[in-house]
Structure 1
Amino acid sequence: MNHLHVLPNEPGGVLVAFNLSEQPAERQLLIDPAELRLSAQQPLPAISNAQAQWHDGRLELRFPLPPRSPVVIEIGSTR
């Protein structure tokens, strides 16, 4: 389960991902940069707790999730 938070008129956001299983998980997500007020024509923003790259015009995030745990990923300036 994933939940994306964005701020009005600010680029970037915060993704909260949950692993509800008893096993570690590896997650890969593709996000439309417009949802984050970003552009694939620009360098990647600062991103915490995930590997990131532009892939076919979308932001690709890859990250591990421990069992029964959340992970918070900051994308760009989140203040």
Structure 2
Amino acid sequence: MVTRLRVTVFPKAGVLDPQGKAIERALGGLGFAGVREVRVGKVMLVDVEESDPARARAMGEEMARRLLANTVIESFTVEIA
């Protein structure tokens, strides 16, 4: 059985996010005055051959720690999609 994982990666709090700042400024320029902060991240969908949701999630977490996220400056979450 195949399980689809959703791995979401974002810069950690306090880490500079130039893309987020650019979008934040652009939204303000378009008249969206209430925007306080924008953080830009990435979402990956990963299909794994594993029927046990707990083991599939553990695989996704290991993938994120080893390759998908730079854990020094990024945090991640892994969910069953």
One fold, TM greater than 0.5? no
Structure with the greater relative contact order (CA < 8 A, sep ≥ 6): 1 or 2?
Answer: 2
**TM-score (ref. length: structure 1):** 0.28
Query: Larger strand proportion, structure 1 or 2?
Result: 1
